[in-house]
Structure 1
Amino acid sequence: MIPPPLPPDEPRRLQALHRLCLLDTPAELRFDRIVRTAAQVFRVPMALVSLVDGERQWFKARVGLDGADSTSRSVSFCGHAILTPDTFVVLDALKDPRFFDNPFVTGAPHVRFYAGHPVRAPDGSAVGTLCLLDSKVRDFSEEQCKLLVDMAAWVELEFNALTVQEARAAMAQKERFFELSVDMLCILGLEGRFRQVSRAWPRTLGYGEEALNDMPLRELIHEEDRPALAAWLGQGTQGGPMPRFEHRCRGRAGEWRWLQWSAVAQPEEGILYGVARDVTEQKRLEAERQHVEQMKNEFVSTVSHELRTPLTSIRGALGLLSGGVAGPLPSTAADMIDIAHKNSERLIRLINDILDLEKMESGKLDFQLRPLELGALVAQAARAHEGYGQERHVRVEVAVEAPGALALVDEDRFLQVLANLLSNALKFSPAGGAVVLRLARRGERLRVGVEDQGPGIPEAFRARMFQKFAQADGSDSRRKGGTGLGLSIALALMERMGGALDFTSQQGVGTTFWAELPEWREAPSEKPSESRPAEAVELPEAVRPRVLHVEADADNRRVVADVLRGVAEVVAASSQVEAEAALRSGSFPLVIAEPVLPEGTLPLQPLLQAAPVLLFSVREAAPEVAQQVSAALVKSRASNAELRAAVLRLLRPGASTP
């Protein structure tokens, strides 16, 4: 997303905007009539008269758009539109580098089409737009552009509707307005003393008008907020609109209240006109919300981490039994083991989804981007889902139409996206059908499509498809299971890697979900990283190396030893003390470590000094830790085969350097 730059005349433009006295005013029929007409004439679901303030765009009139009456200027389409004298048109926001990852494109109201023409104040400054929006891609003809220009001129006529006679009448009503207004209006000297206050000030703070008039505002403000007040008043000497300002203000009874100011300074007169809002209750509610959110995140994280360790050992043990480590099982027992194994996988996926969601919302999800061959990742994802396809009696086919093409991705995260799309496609495909995983080049971008032959997705559900916990009620999706988090997480992962995720669907024919990324061109001196795992081979007993495994959970120690049977002799340590004793007893070519121990975090430095380290942990490694170790796997994500392959790769000569 590219935020709109500031126009060169920004100070003058803001002065002109504030002189209109329209910001934060109630709805007016004269502007509402314009947006209603625009929506009907152009047949769009949304139309706005938008005013672009210093930090926001505020809607003077709107139709078809619910929710807040303003949005941040940094994500606004109108912030771009006021930079040009012509009509600003975006036919498909998902194909525009300025908007493809805009939150109002990827989320509600899912803007795909935008057309906006600047509206100007009497001095010619572009103060906002009359704009049209749609959640569908549209064309916009030259004739339509001309009509929008005419309707924008209608908005400008309303800006100028205040005649000289009305202006004089307004001045005559100024004093009465101050008396009757429910807002905390004031005239404040730039030295910080009140010149005049409305009656809302005494009602809010408890002081009389006489006490407030000519009182230094500094005396009412919390000591910690006084430097900010001085800086704010100092900005007023420059003229024009001033930034929003919040401070704590002492009431007559001694209580502290939060006030939020909007003001316009008149330095030539040494005053500012201000409106203060009592936001104490909003601050209290926000603090409570943040506290509840923090408690929720801590609870989710703690519970999920506590569940990961036993579930990892359960899944690992069941996988070994299902694979025949204990010999052939009676058919009934094998069926029961298979059921338990599948459900343990389902629980782990749920925990991973919850943790991923929590990390993305808190901004703690780390990415290791590197150029990788997408064809190899596509083939790897297809192989990983062949078993599920056989179970569903659905073929998994691969079509690589751009062999050797590279993209900058996090391997694990991209495979996670493909796993979600593939599992969904297989889940909803009819028996005997096929799911095609197709890699193709589209201009400068690479697209990986997952094509199924399922029932399709209702058009009415499109807008909610990537929302959290979204499932298409009314179809058979509820019977298919799932958390409703997968697609929301997949979309966020693709956006973090600079890509996009979307779908096309036709009911009764099938659905294609596609993940798209910019193609990465290899420089002559660079080579892409290999993404193929090591082969799962066995080593002769005489040459099997000793591998130290530091893990507090006895069940996990047993599972890892069984997984590495035939690969290495595993020496187990359940604590830091046992690990140090094992290292003194002899050398190890590799250490597998779970740094989360009951007594605290395991120090990695002594292990790193002794041998290469493979983290096999309940938690994802922090970036600074991942750079020090040779490899890092998350227990609930890595299969037995992936753990075994990672150990084999690191035991190869020359493969142990991080």
Structure 2
Amino acid sequence: MKNEFISTVSHELRTPLTSIRGSLGLIAGGVAGELPPQLKALVDIAHKNSERLILLVNDILDMEKIESGKIEFQLKPVELMPLLRQALESNRAYGEQFEVSYELESDLPGIMLNVDANRLMQVLANLLSNAAKFSPAGDKVMVEVTHTGNRIRVAVKDHGSGIPEQFRDRIFQKFAQADSSDTRKKGGTGLGLSITKVLVEQMGGSIGFDSEPDVLTNFYVDFPVWQETAVFASGLNGKEKRVLICEDDRDIAALLRLMLEQNGLAADIAYDAEQAKKMLAQGKYVAMTLDLALPDQDGISLIRELRESKEASVLPIVVVSAKAVEGRQELDGEAISVIDWISKPINQDQLVLALKQVMGQQADSQPRVLQVEDDPDIFRVVQSIVGEVAHLDHASTLAEARQLLGRCRYDLVILDLGLPDGSGKDLLPLLNGASPPIPVMVFSASEMGLESEKEVDNALVKARTSNEMLLATIKQLIGVQ
């Protein structure tokens, strides 16, 4: 009965709270024009308290998952600094409630951690919100990143009231609050730091703090650096979308790179299959061109191997080969993410068009997004958030979604899991089986299981996702800066 109740709370509270929070955030941000001072004050109060309610619901649900052993993590290498900047931006509005700002005081570009990006964002949000809550008005919360040996430390520092000596050994316990002090007036469930500690440790990290009351309080998390990034780190820019060219003929490889660079696409070269596999494992590529005649491995067997690997199971591949026609016949539809087969000599326009379609860089049209969502209020909120960067279509059922997917090619599908005529997961075979596969972002009150998350490009939970985070994720997936 308890599990059933928690499940009901998750959906029935998160969905309306998402509409409330999103709508109030848009109004407070000026989407309806400038508000009279008295009305703006009321909207700000409502928005602030919707955020407070969301934090309460999420803490209770997270603790239930931890206690039942159902909390899952999707660990993969991610670049740290973009996540930190996104966390500061996502929490900026929360800090403004306390007249506190956030500042990043150091930068370590290119550093990678093997973590669950969404869970790390949750950890950072907990630490940043705590620091803002206990800081004096007008103060700055500083975020410092340091690299010592094989570990990275992210420290969140504030100049607030600090941690009382008698409370320090209980600070990471459930429901722990320094009662009868000023901290009680700040509110909260007392679950945030307990949840944070579990999340950090489950991702292979550790958490600690130093505190000198009214001088400096420093909460920090340590994670090991993802080791395998060093070999091919040179030339990789985390802000660029890169294509991997796998071609043993050095002249043709150089020609391919020149063609792509002339059209604004960055590229790296692997001259054999073994080098390509290493680079795919160690760098983030959005697509790959592949010659089928390689010195160390047949291109067809390489495609099959990549489809079985974690790093490249759905990587879009453009075959560029003198044997393109024969290779296509041999695979006979087996490699669902071979998006085009281009025979040598190379048709530059065909190559660039195929890659730009994958990377969401069509210059002549706005990206097209399909949202599969049965709650019309949620759709209207999302439409208001992304309206300037993408054209958004709406399907309220699986049947409507299938009809729209049959008529139109979409750059992204935003998918709710709970629909009137079935589960949103039922669409995944259709979306992943498209040529090229259609990127999928799950946006649902229900959290996906670990196995299911491997089938989508991103998964966000309603009432855990701010307007800013939702927009940033969508822009990333459709290739809009």
What TM-score, normalized to structure 1? 0.50
Are 1:496 and 2:202 matched, yes or no?
Answer: yes
State the shift of 1:472 in Å: 0.4
8 A contact 1:370–1:409 mirrored in 2: yes
Deviation at 1:354, TM superposition (A): 1.6
Give the Å deviation of 1:594: 0.5
Q: How many residues align?
A: 355
SS in structure 2 at match of 1:543: coil
User: Contact 2:90–2:469 at 8 Å: present in 1 too?
Assistant: no
| Amino acid across the alignment from 1:634 | V
Q: Which residue of 1 aligns with 2:192?
A: 486
Q: Is the 8 A contact 2:10 2:445 kept in 1?
A: no
CA contact (8 A) 1:376 1:532 kept: no
Contact 1:372/1:531 (<8 A) preserved: no
The SS at the match of 1:366 is coil
In structure 2, relative to structure 1, the CA distance for the partners of 1:642 and 1:505 (3 Å cut) is: closer
Contact 2:10 2:446 in 1 (8 A): no
Q: Which residue of 2 aligns with 1:325?
A: 31
Counterpart in the other structure of 2:470 = 643
1:543 aligns with 365
Matched, 1:425 2:131: yes
Matched, 1:315 2:21: yes
Amino acid at match of 1:640: N
Q: CA deviation at 1:608?
A: 3.7
Match of 2:420 among 598, 608, 611: 598
Cα distance in structure 2, aligned partners of 1:403 and 1:529? 9
Aligned to 1:582: 404
In structure 1, what is the Cα distance between the partners aligned to 2:226 and 2:10? 36
1:336 pairs with 42, 48, 61, which one?
A: 42
2:223 pairs, out of 517, 539, 552, with 517
- 1:502 CA displacement: 1.5
Flag the 1:549–1:499 CA change in 2: closer, same or farther, 3 A.
same
Deviations 1:476-530 (A, max 9, x none): 1121111111000000011101111111222343321111122333241468894
Please state how far the C-alpha of 1:541 moved relative to its aligned partner.
Answer: 12
Q: Is the 8 A contact 1:372 1:530 kept in 2?
A: no
Match of 2:6 in 1: 300
> Which amino acid is 2:389 matched to?
V
State the Cα deviation string for residues 124-156 of structure 1 (Å, max 9, x = none).
xxxxxxxxxxxxxxxxxxxxxxxxxxxxxxxxx
Deviation at 1:555, TM superposition (A): 0.9
| Paired position in structure 1 for 2:171 | 465
Amino acid at match of 1:393: E
Does structure 1 residue 366 correspond to structure 2 residue 72?
yes
Per the alignment, residue 83 of structure 2 pairs with 377
C-alpha spacing 1:613/1:402, structure 2 compared with 1 (3 Å): closer
- Aligned CA distance change for structure 1 residues 480 and 541 (closer, same or farther; 3 Å): farther
Matched with 1:399 is 105
Give the partner amino acid of 1:571.
Answer: D
Question: Which secondary structure does the structure 1 equivalent of 2:225 belong to?
Answer: strand
Q: Displacement of 1:531 after TM fit?
A: 8.4
Structure 1 residue 411: Cα displacement: 1.7
Task: Letter of the 2:124 partner, please give it.
Answer: L
Residues 189-200 of structure 1 mapped to structure 2, 5 A cutoff: none
Query: Structure 1 residues 613 and 442, CA, compared in 2 at 3 Å: closer, same or farther?
Result: closer
| Alpha-carbon contact 2:398-2:422 (below 8 Å) kept | no
Superposition CA RMSD, Å? 2.9
Structure 2 unaligned residues grouped into runs of 5+: 242-360
SS at match of 1:556: helix
> 1:369 Cα shift?
2.1
Identity %: 51
Quick one: distance in 2 between partners of 1:570 and 1:412?
24
User: Which of 562, 568, 582 is the aligned partner of 2:384?
Assistant: 562
**In 2, distance between residues paired with 1:542 and 1:531?**
22
Is the Cα–Cα contact under 8 Å of residues 86 and 469 in structure 2 kept in the other structure? no
Deviations for 1:365-424, whole angstroms, at most 9, x for unmatched residues? 222223334344333333333333344233423222755443322222122112111111
Matches of 1:612 and 1:385 in 2, distance apart?
A: 27
Higher-RCO chain (CA-CA 8 Å, sequence separation at least 6): 2
* Residue 553, structure 1, aligned to residue 375, structure 2: yes
1:618 aligns with 2:445: yes
CA spacing shift, 1:573–1:429, aligned 2, 3 Å:
same
- 1:11-62, Cα deviation, whole Å (9 max, x unpaired): xxxxxxxxxxxxxxxxxxxxxxxxxxxxxxxxxxxxxxxxxxxxxxxxxxxx
Aligned 8 A contact 2:119 2:199 in 1? yes
The code of the aligned residue for 1:614 comes to M
Q: Is the 8 A contact 1:617 1:635 kept in 2?
A: yes
- Is contact 2:153-2:223 (8 Å) kept? yes
- Asked whether the equivalents of residues 504 and 511 of structure 1 are also in contact (C-alpha less than 8 Å), the reply is yes
Question: Structure 2 counterpart of 1:487, which letter?
Answer: L
Distance 1:430 1:468, change over 3 A: same
| 1:377–1:531 Cα contact (<8 Å) kept | no
The 8 Å contact of residues 141 and 158 in structure 2, kept in 1 or not, is answered as: yes
2:307 is aligned to none
Tell whether 2:460 aligns with 1:633: yes
Letter in 2 for 1:643: L
The corresponding residue for 1:355 is 61
Q: 2:369, 2:392 within 8 Å by CA — same for their partners in 1?
A: yes
1:464 positional shift: 1.4
